[in-house]
Structure 1
Amino acid sequence: MKKKLLVLFFVFSVIELSAQFPDSLTRVEGDTIWFDARSLTIEGKGWVDTDSTFDRLPLKAKEIIPERVWRLSKNSAGITVSFSTNSKNIFVKWKNNNNTYALPNMPAISVSGIDLYYRASDNSWKYAGTGRPSPTFSSIAVFSAADEYPDKTDYLLYLPLYNGIAKMEIGILKGNEITPANVFDNNLKPIVFYGTSITQGGSASRPGLVHTALIQRQLNAKIVNLGFSGSGKMEIEMAQLISEIDASVYVLDCLWNMTDDLVKERTEHFIRFLRERKPDTPILLVEDSKYNYSSPSERGKILIGIFDKLQKEQMKEIYFLGAQNLLGKDWEGTIDGVHPNDLGFMRHTEEFLRIIKEILKIN
């Protein structure tokens, strides 16, 4: 049943955060019933034993990975909250966990804000609206749905790309219902993306427009986003961690963060480790994208050489995605010559979907 969504945004700060975010999972405030997001469905995590609910790496990783990677793992890129409700108004209240409100090449909405999507009658995901973050790091967004039908609708909430969530609540009007919702195809194992600031979402205009999110909605698939800005460097400890995820595909897109020497030293070892741990899981290697692509970079040539070597050895389920079309041919696909803008991420999505569908034999 089709919904027409009217979205209103309200952002405010509060002084008493303890009063705003009590410990109970459910509470009533006037005409609104608030539910802690932890009581709903949280997707996009490769592990459950994280330091905080919306972290991306397990607690044990803190002792074995670089400090910067650990810090970035507390950014909630790719993590979603899904639920089903018949409420005509949906309220989302959240507190970011650090003071990174915006970045020089990214707006506050994508860094610290939220995106809401709803399931349309044709089973596709439609944009419902965006929650703008407050500079004081405690924010609220109100989404109003003009809907003559009482049936429950599925919703998908994308969390900040370059900030984290300390606390989040979802509110509905009294007299309505909200339940956790499993909105993705459970027959398809998660697609795991490991990479750089581009994988993490730089520089999408909002959380729902990074290529991993676009691919997720196109395939109705679970996605684990392990993009770490400036820090996707293929440490063998990351291979150990990633191999713990039972994935449908491992996507390795790290070249922008690696020197030629690092590509030589780490890439083949990383791939062989994954293959030993997961002998049947496809591994997709991605060339570094360039807005003015004409030929592979030096590190791209090294990666192509590694791929060719592994193919000659008849390593199974190893794939390569060239960068020729990742950003298009018109030089308009980036915000700064490196990081995709929304157009660039749409083009990324087209290329990734083409090869992922081929790998997974999806029509």
Structure 2
Amino acid sequence: MMNNEKQIIFYNANSAYFNVHGLPFASKEHPFWRLPDDVFISQTIEFLKQHPSGAYLSFATASPSIRIKASVSSKAYMPHMTATGTLGCDLYIRKQNSWVFLATTKVNEENYDITIVEGLPSKRREYRLYLPLYIALNHLAIGIEENYTIEATEPIKPEKIVFYGTSITQGGCATRPGMNTSSIVGRTVDYEIINLGFSGSAHLEPEMATVIAQLKDIKLLILEVEANAGDALVLKDRLENFVNIISQTQSHMKVMLISHYPYALAAYKAAIKARFVDHYHFQKQLCHQKGWEFVDGEVLLRKLNFEESVDGVHLTDLGFYFLAVALKKRIKNLLG
């Protein structure tokens, strides 16, 4: 489709001009869903699986300007999370061997068509466009100037790191899509990153484990589930079996289990503190028995003195960044 006024040609995001990363279960009918169309786990996950958290497009073009045309299911709907993080797209550019943030879509509309960057010197550059964290993406097209070409880059990597967890894993409450932990980590490792964070819904269902087990060549499974599974009283009952189901199809998969992140009220409410201590010892002992990597979530962020949170629970960009830095070191130690 061509816009004559600005001489922009749009290319559908789920076309051969792009590689779409982080969505191994996507279908032609639902190209931005994180789980298979025909899998039902819970009503909440049925809603959240439509949010393409952690996914991105990779492409290259020499076009001086890039436009984003998107249709999402609603405007931003959370008081503690920005519109850019909820429904926006982040554009990153390759600079030598690193990925550098370039621009974001500053908009809060169900349908938007905006120029995300313009006036660049004409030169072929590689880009990543990160997709919304907390909204269903119904349609996405990338526009470039007429007489320029666009092509897919970064072939999908066979080896994977899978993040499964709570709203924090999904990206609540990053200010923009590129700032959730899985995306920050993904810019520094040579693995395909799959984000399966589901807000309030990391309940370790065996059906979810069966879906994850369908993936091939998982090198590392990172679990952050206590805040949901612990409150739902299923952590002790389901955790070991959840990993066992996935392990049956993965010959070389390693497991990292992260306990609860800092929570200020735990310092003042004895019942919360006692529950955290109980879950801490259970998870640490199970990791020791199974040969998994145990990571104390509270220790990871303790030095930030609770400044890493937007509401006492969910992380800000500060928290996501520090968490990613800590996890990158552990991932390198585990996978080399």
TM-score between both structures, scaled by the size of structure 1: 0.83
Cα 1:297–1:81 change in 2 (3 A) is farther
Partner of 2:184: 214
- Structure 2 segments unaligned to the other structure (5+ residues): none
Counterpart-to-counterpart distance in 2, 1:139 and 1:41: 21
Counterpart-to-counterpart distance in 2, 1:168 and 1:271: 35
Partner of 2:279: 302
Partner of 1:74: 50
Task: Establish whether residue 93 from structure 1 lines up as the match of residue 69 from structure 2.
Answer: yes
Q: 164, 168, 179: which one pairs with 1:194? A: 164
1:163-312 to 2 correspondences below 5 Å = 163-182=135-154, 186=157, 189-246=159-216, 247-259=218-230, 261-292=233-264, 298-299=275-276, 301-302=278-279, 304-309=281-286, 311-312=288-289
Task: Establish whether residue 41 from structure 1 lines up as the match of residue 16 from structure 2.
Answer: no
The answer to whether the 8 A contact 2:259-2:283 is kept is no
Task: Establish whether residue 134 from structure 1 lines up as the match of residue 111 from structure 2.
Answer: no
Counterpart-to-counterpart distance in 2, 1:89 and 1:141: 7
How far did residue 303 of structure 1 move?
Answer: 5.4
Counterpart-to-counterpart distance in 2, 1:280 and 1:106: 37
What letter matches 1:202 in structure 2?
Answer: G
* Aligned structure 1 segments of 4 or more residues deviating by more than 6 angstroms: 293-296
Cα 1:195–1:172 change in 2 (3 A) is same
Matched-pair identity in %: 30
Counterpart-to-counterpart distance in 1, 2:145 and 2:66: 8
What letter matches 1:92 in structure 2?
Answer: I
How far did residue 183 of structure 1 move?
Answer: 6.2
Count of residues paired in the alignment: 324
**1:84-119 deviation digits (Å, cap 9, x = unpaired):** 0000011111111x2242311101110011100000
The answer to whether the 8 A contact 2:178-2:184 is kept is yes
**1:29-63 deviation digits (Å, cap 9, x = unpaired):** 2111111111121111132447510010011213x
The answer to whether the 8 A contact 1:154-1:183 is kept is no
The answer to whether the 8 A contact 2:75-2:110 is kept is no
- Structure 1 segments unaligned to the other structure (5+ residues): 1-26
Counterpart-to-counterpart distance in 1, 2:294 and 2:302: 18
Counterpart-to-counterpart distance in 2, 1:335 and 1:52: 32
Partner of 2:125: 153
2:248 aligned counterpart, secondary structure: helix
Counterpart-to-counterpart distance in 1, 2:199 and 2:192: 22
Counterpart-to-counterpart distance in 1, 2:318 and 2:287: 33
The answer to whether the 8 A contact 1:101-1:111 is kept is yes
Cα 1:306–1:123 change in 2 (3 A) is closer
The answer to whether the 8 A contact 2:260-2:298 is kept is no
Counterpart-to-counterpart distance in 1, 2:33 and 2:88: 16
Task: Establish whether residue 28 from structure 1 lines up as the match of residue 6 from structure 2.
Answer: no
What letter matches 2:329 in structure 1?
Answer: R
Counterpart-to-counterpart distance in 1, 2:115 and 2:228: 35
What letter matches 2:275 in structure 1?
Answer: E
What letter matches 2:172 in structure 1?
Answer: G
CA RMSD of aligned residues (A): 2.2
Counterpart-to-counterpart distance in 1, 2:246 and 2:280: 16
**1:162-194 deviation digits (Å, cap 9, x = unpaired):** 00211111111111110111167x3x6121101
2:39 aligned counterpart, secondary structure: helix
The answer to whether the 8 A contact 1:117-1:157 is kept is yes
Partner of 1:16: none
Cα 1:278–1:205 change in 2 (3 A) is same
How far did residue 79 of structure 1 move?
Answer: 1.3
What letter matches 1:213 in structure 2?
Answer: S
Q: 28, 38, 49: which one pairs with 1:60? A: 38
TM-score between both structures, scaled by the size of structure 2: 0.90
What letter matches 1:174 in structure 2?
Answer: E
The answer to whether the 8 A contact 1:289-1:327 is kept is yes
2:24 aligned counterpart, secondary structure: coil
Cα 1:212–1:161 change in 2 (3 A) is same
